[in-house]
Amino acid sequence: MSPWACPFPEKNLDVRHLLASTQNLGFPFSRLQRRDFGGNARTAFSILPLDGLYLLWTNQDPMSWFKRAKDNIQTRTEDKNNTPDGLWAKCPNCKKALQTKMLRKNAYVCMHCEHHLKIGSAEYFDLIFDEGHFEELNAQLVSADPLHFEDTKKYPDRIQASMAKSGLNDAIRTAVGPVHGNHIMVCAMDFSFIGGSMGSVVGEKISRAIDYCLEHRTPLLIISKSGGARMMEGALSLMQMAKISAKLALLGQASIPFISLLTDPTTGGVTASFAMQGDLNIAEPEALIGFAGPRVIKETIGRDLPEGFQRSEFLLEHGFLDFIVSRKELKDRLHLAFGMLMNEDEGEPA
């Protein structure tokens, strides 16, 4: 018999499955005859005596222990918020360390310098809705590729890669839920999905959200965070500006309030359309808000730009914003503002 042949042919073991002999395990199996252990259905180990040499066998290819049983990320977007305690983040402004748990309690605002860290739709929903209760609408909408666009990547491949990386289906999520007991619709953009770019999915999701608001007389909040229109959809992305603006006009005619919250950064076609069309246009502190970036403007007009140009505080001073709100007070201020705007006096106008 070959020293590597399995002495128990009925076990259908292969020499590949040899893990170790007593010689290299370094402990004695002298009192063992043959014993199966470690036995779940997937893996069973056996120790087999052979000519005074004891061999440890398994019924599985040992290499399979190092392979994933399941592919891909299985976590849903709303479950991703569970950063374990004790992890640390770093403030991009003051560079100080921030404990993740404390940061969440502080509405993702730096405890040392009040810098508002960039967050996505999941965090905004968590901050705004009562106990995080909300119903997401049209979550499954994904982008088509009508222009067969290709730059360094094919557009569908870029979409797929972004979906896998961010766990999102596009650059916006829309959800309805209670805020201090009153239902509001929140459309929150995600910068992590192709720079928060506005394509046909963003336009369609906001349109459908507005349809919902019209049907249920629900006030609307849009949280903008965008690099502008999505160039891979060409003119189709620009058409979303007109499409959303038309829907917002219907909302205005129905006297349903719309608050636009501009966060860092809000630029391009988003600034040039719905982000500036709120009944109230409000912003987070020190957010970059503009159409073209400062470098382009500087080179076009050939002059130096004033300090703080295109930041929330500068825009407030020049009449583009109604107020600036700290994220820590966002929920309460929204509740108050919507309450005032929704105060429907059924009487005749004076």
Residues of this chain that bind Zn ion (CB under 5 A): 91, 93-94, 110, 112-113, 115
Nearest distance, CB of residue 333 and Zn ion, angstroms: 22
| CA 57 – CA 55 distance, rounded (Å) | 6
Check if the beta carbon of residue 266 is closer than 8 Å to that of residue 188.
no
At 8, which amino acid appears? Answer: F
Between 115 and 205, whose beta carbon lies closer to Zn ion? 115
Between 92 and 146, whose beta carbon lies closer to Zn ion? 92
Check if the beta carbon of residue 285 is closer than 8 Å to that of residue 313.
yes
Phi-psi region of 318 (alpha: psi -120 to 50; beta: other; left: phi over 0): alpha
| CA 165 – CA 72 distance, rounded (Å) | 11
349 CB neighbour count, 10 Å cutoff: 4
Nearest distance, CB of residue 88 and Zn ion, angstroms: 13
Closest to 239 (Cα-Cα) out of 263, 284, 273: 273
Dihedral sign (CA 13, 18, 19, 20): positive
Nearest distance, CB of residue 279 and Zn ion, angstroms: 33
Dihedral sign (CA 264, 268, 269, 272): positive
Nearest distance, CB of residue 106 and Zn ion, angstroms: 11
Closest to 287 (Cα-Cα) out of 314, 317, 255, 256: 314
Between 94 and 164, whose beta carbon lies closer to Zn ion? 94
User: Which residue is listed with tokens 């007109």?
Assistant: 242
Between 116 and 205, whose beta carbon lies closer to Zn ion? 116
Between 48 and 91, whose beta carbon lies closer to Zn ion? 91
Between 91 and 213, whose beta carbon lies closer to Zn ion? 91
Nearest distance, CB of residue 94 and Zn ion, angstroms: 3
Nearest distance, CB of residue 297 and Zn ion, angstroms: 28
Nearest distance, CB of residue 80 and Zn ion, angstroms: 24
Which residues pair with residue 174 across a beta bridge?
Answer: 137, 187
Largest Cα separation within the chain, whole Å, is 107
Between 255 and 326, whose beta carbon lies closer to Zn ion? 326
Between 5 and 94, whose beta carbon lies closer to Zn ion? 94
The alpha carbon of 305 is separated from its chain's Cα centroid by a whole number of angstroms, namely 34
The alpha carbon of 320 is separated from its chain's Cα centroid by a whole number of angstroms, namely 29
Between 99 and 277, whose beta carbon lies closer to Zn ion? 99
Nearest distance, CB of residue 284 and Zn ion, angstroms: 14
At 178, which amino acid appears? Answer: P
Nearest distance, CB of residue 90 and Zn ion, angstroms: 9
Q: What is the DSSP letter of 59?
A: S
Nearest distance, CB of residue 87 and Zn ion, angstroms: 17
The string over 56-77, giving b where at least 16 C-beta atoms fall within 10 Å of a residue's C-beta and e elsewhere, is: bbbbeeeeeeeeeeeeeeeeeb
Closest to 184 (Cα-Cα) out of 8, 349, 342: 342
Between 94 and 161, whose beta carbon lies closer to Zn ion? 94
Dihedral sign (CA 96, 97, 102, 108): positive
